[in-house]
Every structure is written in structure tokens, then in C-alpha cells.
Amino acid sequence: MKTDKKQFMTGAEVVVRACVDAGAKMMFGYPITPGTEILSHWIREAQVNKDLKYLQTEDEIAAGFCVCGAVLAGEKTFTATAGPGTVLMQDALSMADGMRLPVVVIIVQRGGPSSGTVIYSQQEVNLAIHGGNGEGLRLVYSPSNLTELYEYTRLAFNNAWKYNFPAVVLSDGFLMKTRQLVDLGFKIKNFSAEPIISENTQKNIRNIYTFEEELGEKLARDKKDFEKMADEVVKVVSYKVVGCEILIVAHGIVAGAAKEAVDILQSQGKKVGLFRPITLSPFSAKELNDLARQVKKIWVVESSMGQLRDLVKQNLDVSVEIDGLYKPAEGIGSDEIVKLFESF
């Protein structure tokens, strides 16, 4: 693997590089478009680097539970999936939620319902955060370009192992197939991985609770830990928001188009800014509410029918008008966003 600080890479190559640099030694996966190249690139890398291992499991269910087992043994490992595979993996992710396991999952979103399209969407936000039974106490990062994809994959491993919560990197089909010049100079010390269960330790990590009150107490403790962690890991970008009267909210690759649109709109004298949550979970509610108090309207822009909008509403404490551009499973360009404000 090349060691140049800047390389021309695809999204799948970036994920593999980030996982290797994070100290991952094993990948469990099942091929599914548009994320198959993550598995194939990892296999290619493992043929050169004999420290790396892989197992193509029989399905995404098995891949998820294999990762759960490996992290219990102290192995830094991960999986990658998309669409229907994300649905199938919720059982394992629910177990990781309940047992506080540092499972890392790369999700490459594709359009639904069912098999839908195999190209692109932002329709797996709900699944990434709240899929499965439970409260969805997971870290969810939403990168908008390949340099961020590298950085937030590295952070996903570190924070999963540091705080013992599952971590998801929410990518998409466009970002995974994109080829860009990627800055790999992100400096971070890898958090060490230690066995959670070993031959020398007897430790019972419960995943079954007989009494409702027991489970309620356990979830209250986990929620408290999650909120404490949020103060340290939450990430958000507020772009050109000083004096803005209209706030665009977007995440992931769509936020890249929104940023370009804000530049154009401000050059036209329009008071439009951008709020971009990078961690969709935990969500940066304080920053959102601070901005919501100063604007007249919020425009949510997403490749979904409103999953980000619902997340915004859940975190708003102030009354403000919300409108949006919702294009499920379709790309959104900066020109489309600029047209929204022709009459303003």
C-alpha cells in the first residue's frame, strides 16, 4: 500500500486504507453493490499484507455476528454493507448496542424500497441510527468527500473502542465510486484494542434481561454514557451562517453541493447559510438551535423523503418554518439548490 500523503483514490480504496491505518486486521463481509469493492480491495490488500485476514460470509447476518465475536476477542475488525444488507445486519447491530461492543460498519447507501436501485441514496439514515430493537445508541458519521471518508473511518474505530459503542460510517454509492485526490495526512494515535472476553477472564456481558426494570436501568446507564461521550465526539460544520436568514441543512455528499450553492447565493446577496451535521448520532442539537433562533426559515436538502428532516425536528427546541428539497435515491446538484431561492 502506497504511503504518499496525497493519493488519487476511489472511495472503496480510501475505506480500506483507513481501516488498515486504524489497525484493523480482519474484515467479514458479503458482496453487495455499491459496496462490493470494499471487500474486493481488502482481499487484494490481504494478498500482499499477510497480517490481514478476511472471510466472505454466507450473508450479512453472519458478517455482523462475526464482527461481534471478533471484537469480543480484542480484534479490530469491521464489515461493510448496503441497502438490504443494512437491514439484515440490524440483528447483529442490536446485539452490539446492547452489549456495548466496538463494532465498526461501513454503510454504502443505495435506493429503496427493497432492492430498489443499486446506485445511490441517503435513505439509510434511520437504519444507521435506529435500526433494530433498542434505542440506537450508535456513533454515525456522514462524510461528504473522500478525505473526510478517510478521517471519519479512522475516528469511527478510535471512538468505538474508546467508548464501547458501535460506530457507523454512512457513505453512499456516488462517494464510493468517486475518484479524488485524497489527503491522507490525518494524524491520530490509534486507540488500543484489548480482549473483552479471554481465557484468563470470566466476564458475563448480558444481552438478555428478564425484568423490564432491569433493562430500563441498563438503558439509562448507557444513555448517560452516550450523552457524556457526545460532548467529546459530536462534529458539525456551520458554513457562512453569520447574519443568515435562511439556513440550509444537509449532510454527506449533498452537503458538498449545498456548500457550493451557498457560495453562489451569497455572491448574489442572499442571506443563506449551511448547517451540516457530520455526526448524525450524536446530533449537534445545541448548534442547530442556536442557529434556528436567528433565521426565518430552514431548508432541508436530502436524497430521501425526509429522514434528515425528521432528525432535525427531533432536535429542535424552537419554532421555525421548515421546508425542503426531497429527492429519494436521486443526486442533488448545487444548481438545483440555487434555484430554490430564485424568488427570495
Q: Which domains does the chain have, with CATH numbers?
A: 6-233 (3.40.50.970), 236-339 (3.40.50.920)
pLDDT per position as a tens digit, 170-182: 999 999 999 999 9
Q: Provide the H-helix boundaries in the chain.
A: 11-21, 36-48, 60-72, 84-88, 90-99, 125-130, 146-163, 173-177, 212-233, 252-267, 285-292, 307-315, 334-339
Residue 156: how many CA atoms within 13 Å on its side-chain side?
Answer: 37
- As a whole number, mean pLDDT of residues 125-140 equals 94
**What is the average pLDDT score of the chain?**
95
Q: Looking at residue 200, what is its pLDDT? A: 73
- Is pLDDT of 195 > 70? yes
Work out the percent of the chain whose per-residue pLDDT is above 70.
98
Q: How confident is the model at residue 2, as a pLDDT?
A: 64
Q: If you average pLDDT over residues 134-152, what whole number do you get?
A: 96
Burial class (CB in 10 A: 0-12, 13-18, 19+), 216: exposed
Q: What average pLDDT score do residues 87-114 get?
A: 96
> pLDDT at position 199, please?
74
The one-letter amino acid code at 320 reads V
Residue 292 has what pLDDT?
97
The dihedrals phi and psi of 154, each to the nearest 5 degrees, come to: -60, -45
Q: Transcribe 29-50 into DSSP letters.
A: E---TTSHHHHHHHHHHHHH-T
Torsion angle, CA of 149/155/160/161, rounded to 10 degrees? Answer: 140
Round to whole Å and give the CA distance between 154 and 98.
Answer: 23
Q: How confident is the model at residue 3 (pLDDT cuts 50, 70, 90)?
A: low
SS (HEC) of 218-249: HHHHHHHHHHHHHHHHCCEEEECCCCCCEEEE
Please tell me the distance from the alpha carbon of residue 245 to that of residue 298, in angstroms, as a whole number: 9
Q: Report residue 223 as a C-alpha cell.
A: 444513555
Show the CA angle centred on residue 100, arms to residues 98 and 102, nearest 5°. Answer: 130
Quick one: pLDDT band at residue 233, thresholds 50, 70, 90?
A: very high
Integer Cα distance of 35 and 285 in angstroms: 31
Q: How many CA atoms lie within 13 A of 250 on its CB side?
A: 30
- Residue 334: count other Cβ atoms within 10 Å of its Cβ: 18
The predicted-structure confidence for 26-73, as pLDDT tens digits, reads as follows 999 999 999 999 999 999 999 999 999 999 999 999 999 999 999 999
Residues 6 or more apart whose CB falls under 8 angstroms from that of 74 comprise 193, 194, 195, 196, 198
Give every CB contact of residue 40 below 8 A, 6+ residues apart in sequence: 12, 31
> What pLDDT, in 10s, does the model give residues 205-231?
888 899 999 999 999 999 999 999 999
